[in-house]
């Protein structure tokens, strides 16, 4: 083995990226191939799981909104138990483990049991969504900050976000788990002072075969997400940076360069 960073009885939390297996890091691919057991989320697709060794055990601990198949404490316990049994454990998560990935809990559970645990970062959905849409997430002079925010509220609780902070004109918002709350997000941002004309790009299944890009304005966000299926992951990008390039803008640019 070229590396000794994955001994038996240890855990790696691995970012699987947004779906396209080519968007995995080489490190992630190596760790997946070396694992004895892989605990994976619902958003991790077969193309990534196929990198596992044939004898590796694959355990779905998939969480989809509204249908949590295993609760977090159970997942923590499974990971720790597998490591204590001497296995090389990969906990495979969509995107980057550090972003809305319950990584803190899993790291704490491993440390509490004295199980060595490390993290392999991944390409987060916001990056994949911007790339798919052909836009940046920041824009010199106009979009100076980028906020990753989740619009997933705990069951029965209202969505309690810092709407005034999020409404700042120079902020790009990358809203994770935002489909169900899209109407509320738009309404609250506009109420907090964000322009109703703010550009919005919704990317469904970024980097996956069913990729879809839907563009509009903040005022139409609720309508834009209506056709998205329940099972399809969707990223809401809001702000001046994601404005669609004006028709003919590239042609003008080429003409100017050539002149
Ligand atoms: N750790 C992950 C995010 C987990 S939260 C990351 O860094 O990307 C899950 C949410 O991420 C989904 O509800 C959706 O909003 C977003 N998401 C994940 N994969 C996506 C994809 N391929 N396309 C669009 N959005 C995606």
Closest by CA to 185, choosing from 150, 210, 212, 209, is 150
Angle at alpha carbon of residue 211, lines to 206 and 212, rounded to 5°: 105
Same domain (yes/no): 86, 140: no
What's 240's DSSP letter? Answer: G
CA distance 5 to 252: 52
Same domain (yes/no): 136, 71: no
- For residue 45, the model assigns a pLDDT of 86
Catalytic site residue from 36, 63, 76, 96: 63
CB distance 129 to ligand 1 below 6 Å = yes
Same domain (yes/no): 142, 50: no
Domain end (from 66, 91, 120): 120
Q: Strands 171-176 and 234-238: what pairing?
A: antiparallel
Regions of the chain short of the pLDDT cut 70 = 1-3, 63-69, 248-253, 259
Tell me how far the alpha carbon of residue 8 lies from the centroid of ligand 1, in angstroms.
30
Domain end (from 120, 148, 183): 120
41 is catalytic: yes
Same domain (yes/no): 229, 162: yes
What percent of the chain has a predicted confidence (pLDDT) above 90?
A: 83
Catalytic site residue from 41, 76, 93, 96: 41
Same domain (yes/no): 238, 185: yes
CA-126 nearest atom, ligand 1: 8
Output the residue whose Cα is nearest ligand 1's atom 5. Answer: 100
CB distance 199 to ligand 1 below 6 Å = no
Give the domain extent around 193: 125-242
Q: Give the domain CATH number at 15.
A: 3.40.1010.10
CA distance 176 to 126: 8
Report the number of distinct structural domains present in the chain: 2
- For residue 67, the model assigns a pLDDT of 56
Tell me how far the alpha carbon of residue 179 lies from the centroid of ligand 1, in angstroms.
11
- For residue 245, the model assigns a pLDDT of 74
Same domain (yes/no): 158, 211: yes
Same domain (yes/no): 205, 235: yes
Tell me how far the alpha carbon of residue 256 lies from the centroid of ligand 1, in angstroms.
39
- For residue 153, the model assigns a pLDDT of 82
| Residue with the two structure tokens 């240890």 | 10
- For residue 225, the model assigns a pLDDT of 97
Q: Give the domain CATH number at 163.
A: 3.30.950.10
Return phi, psi of residue 47, to 5°: -60, -35
70 is catalytic: no
- For residue 257, the model assigns a pLDDT of 74
CB distance 45 to ligand 1 below 6 Å = no
pTM: 0.92
CA distance 138 to 126: 12
Structure tokens at 166: 């999020």
């Amino acid at each position: 083995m070229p590396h000794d960073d994955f001994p038996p009885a240890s855990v790696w939390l691995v970012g699987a990226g947004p779906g396209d297996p080519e968007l995995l890091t080489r490190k992630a691919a190596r760790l997946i191939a070396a694992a004895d057991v892989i605990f994976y989320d619902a958003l991790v697709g077969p193309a990534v799981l196929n990198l596992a060794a044939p004898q590796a055990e694959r355990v779905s601990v998939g969480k989809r909104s509204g249908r949590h198949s295993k609760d977090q404490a159970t997942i923590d316990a499974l990971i720790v138990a597998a490591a204590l049994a001497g296995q090389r454990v990969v906990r495979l998560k969509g995107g980057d483990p550090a972003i809305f990935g319950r990584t803190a809990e899993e790291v704490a559970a491993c440390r509490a049991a004295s199980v060595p645990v490390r993290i392999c970062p991944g390409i987060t959905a916001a990056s994949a969504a911007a790339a798919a849409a052909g836009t940046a997430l920041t824009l010199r002079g106009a979009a100076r900050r980028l906020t990753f925010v989740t619009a997933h509220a705990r069951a029965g609780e209202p969505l309690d976000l810092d709407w005034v902070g999020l409404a700042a004109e120079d902020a790009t918002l990358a809203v994770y788990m935002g489909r169900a709350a899209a109407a509320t997000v738009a309404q609250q941002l506009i109420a907090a002072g964000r322009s109703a004309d703010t550009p919005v790009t919704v990317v469904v299944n970024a980097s996956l075969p069913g990729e879809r890009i839907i563009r509009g304005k903040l005022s139409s966000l609720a309508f834009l997400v209506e056709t998205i299926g329940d099972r399809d992951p969707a990223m809401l990008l809001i702000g001046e940076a994601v404005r669609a390039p004006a028709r003919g803008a590239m042609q003008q640019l080429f003409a100017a360069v050539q002149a």
